[in-house]
Structure 1
């Protein structure tokens, strides 16, 4: 029996196995892991102010792209769109044109942009809008400044100037949006609004009002006034800033 080659018995032994080689232990961490840790530490200690735009964008991309260096991609996005805010505001299809940005990454960027707009809207909810004017401007810019087409938006307010509703009334082309004064007033009456703020964007980036912007605003004011609705202002937003027709004494 002992000489039978078919015997499959093994054995116990105190003999130690050879230590695993470096290859078995796994490869060394990629160089970007240390870079990510350092960026997170700087953000934790100093907040966003401690980081350049491309570094903050890197932090955003870390979760979307866990196993690659994102510095070059962050810089490519900024080169393509111009600023951190413009990257967040860029349309999804244009984001995907940047090499290295797939569907999942593009969607993640737009989710962050939507979260920023929602947070900005929260700053003006349930409080008198006229006492939170900078928050109103910040919200309008977050919501519309980087849209590729013109949008006409209305903020409807109650008698205490608290926001009742925020609605996009019309979307147009790259340089024109249709506006119907009677529809603006009708919707205000439906919501029992006593005041409104008109907002639209200029995709060109220049927020300067046109003659048509001024004339249409005056038409809406004249249509709304007899029905007890006040037009507080018309704000025009663009990548390069904003304009207030009331602040410019145009209405």
Structure 2
């Protein structure tokens, strides 16, 4: 018999061809569902992950929304268990670490566009309110980005004393407050304004500066500093 036209018709042959496509032609050669399909290789040793990748994109609306989906939402999808959900979320974590590493290289206030790109990626698809604090050093370089609280769809409890305490622990001299509005409207509420004033006052006692409070929602954002609210 002559050489077979298809050396392998099983899942391993397909996976090898996908890897060769990625490495030989670059990531731009892959469709979104193919990238997700390859992510799922780590969770499924056997079988075809292409239908599952397409089903996840259909369920959540886009590749980016699959990555941003909460673990419980992922595991509620058919055929997605702990291993598959973890495979998806570790990629999101890696992407965020790469973006954060770029922010560490220079003062944040000199690179507003990159900062907003990072925060949008971190918060824009969150389904509940999350309050984060960017802790900065004396040269306005990022020391840490930490989630201080998670709340409901329209409220997050924030304790100024805890924010300032953490700033002291990190030897931070300045803060940028950040939270999201899952409704998509970044307009600050009265509670947002009052909370910002309380954090600013508590920080000022220890000569810690609050540079801004940013609210993100559905691709839009509000800056307290820009809008004269700080």
TM-score strictly above 0.5: yes
Are positions 1:233 and 2:204 aligned together?
no
- Secondary structure of the residue aligned to 1:123 is helix
1:76-155 alignment to 2 at 5 Å?
Answer: 76-155=55-134
Are positions 1:45 and 2:29 aligned together?
no
Distance 1:212 1:238 in 2: 17
Distance 1:249 1:36 in 2: 57
TM-score, normalised by the number of residues in structure 2 = 0.81
1:41 Cα deviation after fit: 1.7
Distance 2:218 2:60 in 1: 11
1:148-174 CA-to-partner distances (Å, cap 9, x unmatched) read 432211111111111223222222222
1:69 Cα deviation after fit: 2.8
Contact 2:75–2:82 under 8 Å retained in 1: yes
Bigger radius of gyration: 1
Residue from 56, 59, 65 that aligns with 2:44: 65
Hey, what does 1:245 align to over in structure 2? 224
1:208 Cα deviation after fit: 3.7
- Secondary structure of the residue aligned to 1:167 is strand
Distance 1:214 1:226 in 2: 19
Give structure 2 stretches of 5+ with no counterpart: none
1:107 Cα deviation after fit: 1.3
1:20-54 CA-to-partner distances (Å, cap 9, x unmatched) read xx9xxxx9514894587258526642433x44332
Change (3 A) 1:238 1:68: farther
Distance 1:42 1:196 in 2: 41
Give structure 1 stretches of 5+ with no counterpart: 1-18
1:196 Cα deviation after fit: 0.3
1:78 Cα deviation after fit: 1.6
Contact 1:152–1:170 under 8 Å retained in 2: yes
**Residues 135-144 or 228-237, more deviating:** 135-144
Are positions 1:54 and 2:30 aligned together?
no
TM-score, normalised by the number of residues in structure 1 = 0.75
Change (3 A) 1:153 1:176: same
Contact 1:236–1:243 under 8 Å retained in 2: yes
- Runs of 4+ in structure 1 displaced over 4 angstroms? 31-36
Residue from 125, 140, 143 that aligns with 1:164: 143
**Residues 153-162 or 179-188, more deviating:** 179-188
* Coordinate RMSD, CA, aligned: 3.1
1:1-20 alignment to 2 at 5 Å?
Answer: none
Distance 2:37 2:16 in 1: 9
